[in-house]
Amino acid sequence: MSYTFRGAPARIQFSTYMNNGVTSMTIISIPEGDPIASVTVNGPWATLRELQKIHGERIVPVKDYSENTGMVDFLLKNELIEPFPLDIIPSGFVLIPVYLLSDKALNELYAQRPPVNQTRKKVNHS
């Protein structure tokens, strides 16, 4: 699926942080395929581990500061995250909002990477 990010065509690439299995998101330019922005941020926060135990791969800690100011608005506008953060984690001088991926984003994630197990199916809660 394609989006417009800061006036340019782009897509979302989903991956996983290797140290903890948390879902990562990167905005990639179309057609070049270059990374434009890291949507998510990773850290050793206990809160993140607890949320992951409950919500699995649906949780994403969003980088919405510095060069990424406005990232939450972009994700909400494109219906990629649920409207309210699950938690806000202090990290240094910034606050990291942790959101749930929307069903739309979760389906994109599943289309991009192989299933962890055979029980994974397309999500439709409508």
Tokens of 96: 């990291």
pLDDT band at 45 (very low <50, low <70, confident <90, very high): confident
Q: Which residues contact 67 (CB under 8 A, 6 or more apart)?
A: 37
Q: Which amino acid is at 70?
A: G
Q: CA 22, CA 81: separation in Å to the nearest integer?
A: 15
Measured between alpha carbons, how far is residue 28 from residues 7, 81, 92, 115 in Å? 13, 18, 28, 22
> What pLDDT score does 1 carry?
86
Q: CA 116, CA 126: separation in Å to the nearest integer?
A: 24
> What pLDDT score does 114 carry?
61
Percent of the chain with pLDDT over 70: 90
**Rounded to two decimals, what is the model's pTM?**
0.86
61-90 per-position pLDDT tens digit: 999 999 999 999 999 999 999 999 999 999
Mean pLDDT rounded to a whole number for the chain: 89
Cβ atoms < 10 Å from Cβ of 42: 16
